[in-house]
């Protein structure tokens, strides 16, 4: 089954609230497809895309989609190979997105202290995070 088919189905789904596609060899193309789904879906509360090769560009696509998403409260992006660049874009979105309250992103080894500080500054603005 293709990522496009899965994302299209999820975008139209009115009941699914959690989706775990961790460790599925999803790369930049898949991340862009997931981002398109996130822009449309209104029922998905939890998305786990950990242990995929999203890299910075994939995370930027996901972050842009989170600007429009009004349902996702938890995002797991552990071991996705992104760095400060991708985290910086996600941090910008987190200053405006009041729906997302949980973020897991451990074992992304290209993140430096600068990236963590950028995220912490964003979370100071967004008081909804736990």
DSSP string, the chain: --HHHHHHHHHH-SS--EEE--SS---HHHHHHHHHHHHH-SS--EEE--SS--HHHHHHHHHHHHHH-SS--EEE-TT---BHHHHHHHHHHHTT--S--EEE-TT-TB--HHHHHHHHHHHHH-TT--
Name the pTM for this structure. 0.92
State residue 123's pLDDT score: 94
| Structure confidence at residue 1 (pLDDT) | 57
Residues of the chain with pLDDT under 70: 1
Rounded CA gap, 105 and 3, in Å? 22
Q: Which CATH architecture has domain 3-125?
A: Alpha-Beta Horseshoe (3.80)
Residue 96 confidence (pLDDT): 93
Residue 9 confidence (pLDDT): 79
Looking at residue 128, its pLDDT comes to 85
């Amino acid at each position: 089954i293709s990522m496009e088919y899965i994302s299209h189905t999820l975008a139209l789904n009115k009941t699914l609230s959690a989706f775990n596609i961790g460790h599925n060899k999803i790369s930049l193309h898949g991340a862009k497809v997931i981002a398109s789904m996130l822009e449309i879906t209104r029922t998905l509360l939890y998305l786990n895309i950990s242990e995929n090769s999203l890299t910075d560009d994939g995370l930027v696509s996901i972050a842009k989609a989170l600007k429009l998403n009004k349902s996702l409260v938890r995002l797991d992006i552990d071991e996705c190979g992104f760095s400060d660049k991708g985290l910086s874009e996600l941090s910008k979105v987190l200053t405006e997105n009041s729906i997302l309250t949980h973020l897991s992103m451990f074992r992304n080894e290209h993140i430096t202290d600068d990236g963590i500080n950028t995220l912490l500054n964003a979370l100071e603005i967004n008081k909804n995070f736990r």
